[in-house]
Structure 1
Amino acid sequence: MKMENPTPMQWKFSERAQQLQSSAIREILKVTVRPEVISFAGGLPSPETFPVEKMRAAFDTVLSNQGKVALQYGPSDGYAPLREWIANSLSVNGAKIVPEQVLMVSGSQQGLDLLAKVLVDEGSRLLVETPSYLGALQAFSVYRPQFVSVATDEHGLLPEHVASIGQGASLLYALPNFQNPTGRTLSVERRAALVDTCARLGLPLIEDDPYGALCYRGEPLPKMVTMNPDGVIYMGSFSKVLTPGIRLGYVVAPVPLIRKLEQAKQAADLHTAQLTQMVVYEVVKDGFLAEHIPTIRKLYADQCHAMLTALDEFFPSGVTWTRPEGGMFIWVTLPKHIDSMKLLDEAIAEHVAFVPGGPFYANAPESNTLRLSFVTVPPEKIREGVARLGKLIAAKM
């Protein structure tokens, strides 16, 4: 029986829910889906890189040969052959990673949430780069840590600053390769110093590495987890090298931590989808990534070059930007008096979009910064969008 004129429910949210905020990037993307907008906002991989036919064939193979297994519940730690493949791929430079150190997660964003859940208490000191990945700040903030900003320069975070502030912290979160949002890369020397510093402090180091394979030339730099498998927590993802739609990532860590993360995952979603894990294993097991990733690198390198060339031509003197050697992002620093959030409103009116830099700072946001992503925009549109943006900036100089 339907009630007549029921009193509207007055929802009382938990304190944790009350502090939740929408991602600034996700809110901007709601505007930029319009076809007339040239969007440098999303951190989305290019759909041109998605191996659709390879994925379709893998789904067919898995469902035809192992359909009943693929459609069943799976183990909480993940599909064993895929975990073994990941462990073997990381066992380089003398490091030995075993499958028991690998936990499959539903996208690396879940990995961030689980790590915070098991390592961070309210008020814990949590060290992050300046600026840092917005999605990580959002995931960690649910657990009410005290964010401590690590000093950085054009080459990334400074290990000596970690040494001076890291005592007693719960963890250090870092993206050493083509960092989101700045595009900068941590040198081999700084990686070694950082690993050594964290080991001496007993400070867990999270190495988040979604972009490491996307170098434009040469070979990827060594991973910090191979320097100290007992002290570094490595996070990887198939989103940037296959497709983000499958929502498949992984955490590699010492076994005691993996077991605790597995317990947290059981409480969250029992296990990551068995079907997608089996499909990804079918795709990667025979070396497909070795031939596929170079095509992604070439595409992104060309688009990065197009954007850097356009920035050189259209941005006025007094504006600076990073020159990444891989990945998906360029970080722009405007004169102090220009607020990128206000600039965004004007840019959208001119049908071009970017992400203001302020939300990427855990503390003391710098409002004269912004992030540009070039990988989903063809070169001719990159040039057009940068020209529009440069004209708006020049008017404020």
Structure 2
Amino acid sequence: SKTFAPGLRIGVIVAHEQIIKKMEILKQSLDLCSSSLNQLIAAEFLRSGHFEKHIALVKKVYKTKKDTMLAALEKYMPEGVTWTRPEGGLFLWVKLPESMSADDMFEDAIRENVAYVIGSAFHCDGSGKNTMRLNFSYATPADIDEGIKRLATAVKKRLVLK
């Protein structure tokens, strides 16, 4: 659903019938069932042939935003901060120096009017405390640049305290 309309919370699968049945049960256990209207909208969009054109546009838009975020990280982040360079998806991961905690720095980032998802939330073993997940799907390129600049300010302030 991320490629079409994230709010619809639906997807499409082509698989063996037994796999589809198991996935239906899993989906129903998560949210009972998807809206019939949402399913009809998605089915018509796929049937109409507009999906391929939409995907081409979305890929171009997300690539521009991803490239903007990567350039801003390169431009503003201090030495010792690293990040992924994703080939797909809507997120990238930032890794702070081992001595820093993205959990502890979160309030600093909020004071700079920027937010991220704390990386430790994605680890069940307590690791990832120095990581954060950044999303580039919604913001404009200008907002992405400004947001990374603000995030870098929070990182630099925290580094000075170390």
| TM-score, structure 2 normalization | 0.85
Question: How far apart are residue 260 of structure 1 and its match?
Answer: 4.8
Q: How far, CA to CA, are the matches of 1:259 and 1:396 in structure 2?
A: 50
- RMSD value over aligned CA atoms? 2.4
Contact 1:328 1:375 in 2 (8 A): yes
1:295-334 mapped onto 2 (5 Å cutoff): 295-334=57-96
Contact 1:359 1:365 in 2 (8 A): no
Residue in structure 1 matching 2:118, options 340, 352, 356 = 356
Contact 2:105 2:158 in 1 (8 A): no
Distance 1:285 1:364, change over 3 A: same
2:104 is aligned to: 342
Question: How far apart are residue 264 of structure 1 and its match?
Answer: 6.4
Question: How far apart are residue 339 of structure 1 and its match?
Answer: 0.7
Distance 1:258 1:320, change over 3 A: same
1:194-343 mapped onto 2 (5 Å cutoff): 239-250=1-12, 253-262=15-24, 271-343=33-105
Question: How far apart are residue 374 of structure 1 and its match?
Answer: 1.3
Distance 1:292 1:318, change over 3 A: same
Letter in 1 for 2:66: C
Q: How far, CA to CA, are the matches of 2:65 and 2:133 in structure 1?
A: 15
Contact 2:119 2:131 in 1 (8 A): yes
When the two structures are aligned, how many residues end up with a matched partner?
159
Q: How far, CA to CA, are the matches of 2:59 and 2:38 in structure 1?
A: 24
2:154 is aligned to: 392
Contact 1:329 1:372 in 2 (8 A): yes
More helix by share: 2
Matched residue SS, 2:134: strand
Letter in 1 for 2:128: E
Q: How far, CA to CA, are the matches of 1:348 and 1:268 in structure 2?
A: 32
1:31-70 Cα shifts (integer Å, max 9, x gaps): xxxxxxxxxxxxxxxxxxxxxxxxxxxxxxxxxxxxxxxx
Question: How far apart are residue 349 of structure 1 and its match?
Answer: 1.1
Q: How far, CA to CA, are the matches of 1:394 and 1:269 in structure 2?
A: 42
Q: How far, CA to CA, are the matches of 1:355 and 1:301 in structure 2?
A: 21
Distance 1:278 1:335, change over 3 A: same
Q: Return the index of the structure with the highest Cα Rg.
A: 1
Question: Share of identical aligned residues, percent?
Answer: 39
Distance 1:243 1:314, change over 3 A: same
Letter in 2 for 1:325: E
1:227 is aligned to: none
1:260-281 Cα shifts (integer Å, max 9, x gaps): 5556667777754333222222
Contact 2:112 2:154 in 1 (8 A): no
Confirm whether residue 366 of structure 1 aligns to residue 128 of structure 2: yes
Question: How far apart are residue 394 of structure 1 and its match?
Answer: 1.8
Q: Structure 1: which 5+ runs fail to align?
A: 1-238
Q: Structure 2: which 5+ runs fail to align?
A: none
1:54 is aligned to: none
1:378 is aligned to: 140
Contact 2:84 2:92 in 1 (8 A): yes
Q: How far, CA to CA, are the matches of 2:62 and 2:30 in structure 1?
A: 35
Contact 1:323 1:330 in 2 (8 A): yes
Letter in 2 for 1:323: R
Question: How far apart are residue 344 of structure 1 and its match?
Answer: 0.8
